[in-house]
Amino acid sequence: MDEARGTLLKSDVVYEGRVLSVHRDEVRLPKGNVARLEVVRHRGSAVLLPMPDLDHVVLVRQYRYAVDRWMWELAAGSLEPGEEPAVGAARECEEETGLVPSRVEALGSFYPTPGYCDEKMHFFRLTGLRERGEGEERAMPDADEDIRVRSFSLQDVRDMVRRGEIEDLKTAAGIALL
């Protein structure tokens, strides 16, 4: 089906950060009307499902300032400019969990908030995990991250989602892909 698309008429960068930028765009929409839209531009991210075995997945617990709470969630991270999502997934797995995968399997890619953001989340199952080498730090979180790492049974994680203990959408979506 060939559907009409919008046409960008004007774009102003309102904010430029290290992870995202905010644009105020003027767009001619498919019906012909002109709208002013605020759009968050993001280079994409990798969402990790590190699995030590078929019945377990590794989650991270970290403080999320925007919602002022500690959360159990799947590790994830922004892709570097030009980085392939699978490469970013392996890199983020090592950085955030201290685990090095031998296999990286794509599970799907999704736009979490397409109403105002172009971020595409790429979900990966990571297996054949080994801990970082001796003498190496277990995990290497960014300076703004305080991360705790733990393996859970898939059933426990599914139960945590149902009970509302996991409030992070990417985690609920990632677990549903298994």
DSSP output for 47-78 = EEEE-SBTTEEEEEEEEEGGGTEEEEE--EEE
Percent of the chain past pLDDT 70, that is, above it, reads 93
CATH tag for 45-176 (out of 3.50.50.60, 3.40.50.300, 2.60.120.200, 3.90.79.10):
3.90.79.10
DSSP label of 117: B
Query: Checking DSSP bridges between strand 45-50 and strand 121-127, what pairing results, if any?
Result: parallel
Indicate the pTM of the whole model: 0.90
Task: Answer whether 27's CB lies under 8 Å from 37's CB.
Answer: yes
Distances 154 to 37, 53, 65, 94, 111 between C-alpha atoms, Å? 40, 10, 27, 21, 24
Q: Which candidate, 135, 164, 158, 149, places its Cα nearest to that of 48?
A: 149
DSSP label of 29: -
Distances 23 to 15, 29, 82, 107 between C-alpha atoms, Å? 7, 17, 21, 30
Phi, psi of 107 (to 5 degrees): -110, -20
Q: Where in the chain is the domain with CATH 3.90.79.10?
A: 45-176
Q: Which candidate, 73, 125, 72, places its Cα nearest to that of 99?
A: 125
pLDDT tier for residue 75 given thresholds of 50, 70 and 90: very high
When the pLDDT of each residue in the chain is averaged and rounded to a whole number, the result is 93
Instruction: Render pLDDT for 82-108 as a digit per residue (tens, 0 to 9).
Output: 999 999 999 999 999 999 999 999 999
Place of tokens 């979180």: 141
Number of CB atoms found within 10 A of residue 4's CB? 9
Beta bridge partners of 16: 21
At 149, list the tokens: 């790492």
Q: Is the pLDDT of residue 135 over 70?
A: no
pLDDT of residue 45: 98
